[in-house]
Amino acid sequence: MRRPTTPTALALLPTFAVLALTLTACSVSVGGSQVSSDELAEKVSAVLAETVGRAPELVECPDPLKAEAGAEVRCTLTDSGESYGVTVTATDVVDDEVAIDVEVDAEPLADEDAS
């Protein structure tokens, strides 16, 4: 699913590339056994905005995240013409809240991987 975001400040894409580390995010509410791909893209964008001061232009998460600790999905962030892979991991599930970690790849995706 595609989740366009609006930049809130001027910054260069390398800002996102510096995030080649795991960022602990807030919890995501789930109404069932998974976090929808739309809601996941929204949360990833919010976590990045909180961390670097603005959201990327686009976050896409093609698959939902299972609401179980250790579940993992790959998303893509796009900003300033470059795309980076993002790994989202469910770290804990309590009732209908899923805690997630977000990790941005250190290197941009190759053109064939960015689609």
pLDDT at site 32 = 75
Confidence of residue 41 (pLDDT cuts 50, 70, 90): very high
pTM score, whole prediction: 0.75
pLDDT at site 76 = 97
**Max intra-chain CA distance, the chain:** 40
Please report, for the chain, the start and end positions of each structural domain, with discontinuous segments joined by +: 2-113
Q: In the predicted model, what is the mean pLDDT of residues 18-28?
A: 54
What is residue 37's three-state secondary structure?
Answer: helix
| Among candidate residues 28, 32, 31, 33, the one with its CA nearest the CA of residue 88 | 28
Confidence of residue 53 (pLDDT cuts 50, 70, 90): confident
Question: Is 92:24 a contact under the CB 8 Å cutoff?
Answer: no
Supply the mean pLDDT for the chain. Answer: 79
